[in-house]
Structure 1
Amino acid sequence: MIREITKDVLFLSQKALPATEQDRQVAIDLRDTLVAKRNAAAGLAANMIGINKQIIAFYMGSLPIVMINPQIKEWSGTYSTKEGCLSLAGLRTTKRYQKILVEYWDINFKKQVQDFTGFTAETIQHELDHCSGILI
């Protein structure tokens, strides 16, 4: 189900709770919402659709990917960049890592560990900030 994007800064500032297998529909809704917003968003976090769970969705090429309870395990190559957000107006400067290693559960709740670089890594970091209640 495609959901509305929340702009409630107080809600978005809360730290997300770990997701469980009972939250699989949230992951599906998040992916569907990302696909519907393809021209406006490279990624989304579950709190952006009003559900405070540690679930993110983003594009790797043209493929929408969902991560449940993602954690960055390794990182390297800091740089400064400007990012926008569907939940907030304007651009903000932030620091990111060029390369990250992420451990997560996929949409079928199978554990995954994967390296990401460049814009995909930046998008993941932005969405993980949302899970931590950090607004960029």
Structure 2
Amino acid sequence: MQRPIMTSRSFLRTPSEPADPAAPADQATITDLVDTLEANRSRCVGMAANMIGVGKRIIAFVDEELGGRITVMLNPVITVMDGAYETAEGCLSLAGERRTRRYRRIEVDFEDRRGRSRHATFTDFTAEIIQHEVDHCNGIII
């Protein structure tokens, strides 16, 4: 189900709680997050659960390296960052763009929808999207 976009800065600044892939409520959040991202795909490439009002460490993003498929991560943790650069980013939860530092290559530990532990490397724009969404999970807004 598509959900409204959260714009409360105080809510967005609150770090999210760990997600439980076995919890029906967290699985429902995954479905709603993907549905909301799909509905906003023309102006958005990634979302964290707090952007739809759920304080859980769940992100979804358009993965161009997988042909534009939406990928979901639970409890993502960036473990390696290489190649710092400055960029400007926008966010559905905020008006306008803001400057921020990102990394061209990252490695991420996370759980998939089924609760399996994963480790993956991402580069370029996909890495930037993931960093933005992990920041959301950590209560950091650009």
Q: Which TM-score applies when normalising by structure 2?
A: 0.93
Q: Distance in 2 between matches of 1:32 and 1:106?
A: 17
Quick check: 1:76 aligned with 2:79?
no
Structure 1 position 38, deviation (Å):
0.5
Aligned twin of 1:121: 127
Percent identity at matched positions?
Answer: 49
Tell me the amino acid that sits aligned with residue 29 of structure 1: D
1:104 to 102, 106, 110: 110
* Superposed CA RMSD: 0.7
Aligned twin of 1:32: 35
The unaligned stretches of length 5 or more in structure 2 are none
Q: Which TM-score applies when normalising by structure 1?
A: 0.97
Flag as ranges the 4+ runs of structure 1 deviating above 6 A. none
Aligned twin of 1:67: 73
Structure 1 position 68, deviation (Å):
0.2
Q: Distance in 1 between matches of 2:15 and 2:37?
A: 21
Q: Distance in 1 between matches of 2:80 and 2:10?
A: 30
Tell me the amino acid that sits aligned with residue 6 of structure 1: M
Structure 1 position 31, deviation (Å):
1.1
**1:48 alignment partner, SS class:** helix
Q: How does 1:12-23 map to 2 (within 5 A)?
A: 12-20=12-20, 21-22=22-23, 23=26
1:91 to 94, 97, 104: 97
Structure 1 position 4, deviation (Å):
0.7
Which string of whole-angstrom CA distances, capped at 9 and with x for unpartnered residues, describes residues 96-126 of structure 1?
0100001111112111111000000000000
